[in-house]
């Protein structure tokens, strides 16, 4: 190799070194931890007087408060394990869940909705059907107020023994 070629090669090598040092880069990470908040708040107990007619007796809609920030949403289940009971006397119930209010996602779609196949449950104690449930679910983070409408089912007041008829509903929220 000639001197000129060696010198030329040296220049090229130095030029490449110079180019390789023209910039530098580094990274730094930022992390946010968001705590989980998945809650269901029951309303006050509800009592109504019978209006002495043969019609079913409605308790109206009770509002249940829901908070949920799980990324995949949550499911709220309202369950009864017995019908209305007054001592040894039973009467059927009908309960229906609805979405009273709900947050919307970034696209404006309501976060919470009622599970179509589990909107209403009607007991039939005469056939042994005393337990059932209704359900609402969400697909992402968002709060809601769910309404639970309870109905005391009876069509003959003259045959209804006096006393208090009571049923308990248990609501459960589970992250999806």
Residues in touch with another protein (CB under 8 A): 2, 4-5, 7-8, 11-12, 14-15, 17-18, 21-38, 67, 69-72, 103, 105-106, 111, 140-143
Question: Judged by CB, which is closer to another protein: 20, or 117?
Answer: 20
Q: How far is the CB of 145 from another protein (least distance, A)?
A: 13
Q: Is 56 exposed, middle or buried (0-12, 13-18, 19+ CB in 10 A)?
A: middle
Q: How far is the CB of 109 from another protein (least distance, A)?
A: 12
Torsion of CA 110, 68, 122, 93, to 10 degrees: -120
Rounded distance, CA 52 to CA 68, Å? 42
Q: How far is the CB of 135 from another protein (least distance, A)?
A: 21
Residues 75, 66, 134: CA angle, nearest 5 degrees: 45
Rounded distance, CA 161 to CA 89, Å? 8
Q: How far is the CB of 172 from another protein (least distance, A)?
A: 19
Question: Judged by CB, which is closer to another protein: 23, or 162?
Answer: 23
């Amino acid at each position: 190799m000639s001197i000129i070629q060696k010198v030329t090669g040296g220049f090229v090598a130095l030029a490449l070194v110079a180019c390789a040092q023209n910039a530098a880069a580094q990274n730094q990470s930022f992390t946010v931890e968001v705590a989980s908040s998945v809650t269901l708040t029951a309303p006050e107990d509800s009592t109504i007087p019978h209006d002495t007619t043969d019609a079913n007796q409605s308790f109206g809609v009770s509002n249940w408060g829901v908070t949920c920030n799980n990324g995949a949403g949550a499911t709220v289940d309202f369950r009864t394990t017995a019908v209305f009971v007054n001592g040894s006397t039973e009467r059927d119930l009908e309960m229906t869940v609805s979405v009273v209010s709900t947050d919307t996602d970034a696209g404006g779609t309501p976060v919470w909705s009622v599970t179509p196949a589990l909107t209403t449950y009607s007991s039939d104690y005469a056939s042994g059907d005393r337990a059932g449930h209704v359900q609402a679910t969400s697909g992402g983070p968002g709060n809601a107020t769910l309404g639970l409408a309870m109905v005391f089912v009876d069509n003959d007041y003259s045959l209804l023994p006096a006393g208090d008829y009571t049923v308990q509903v248990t609501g459960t929220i589970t992250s999806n």
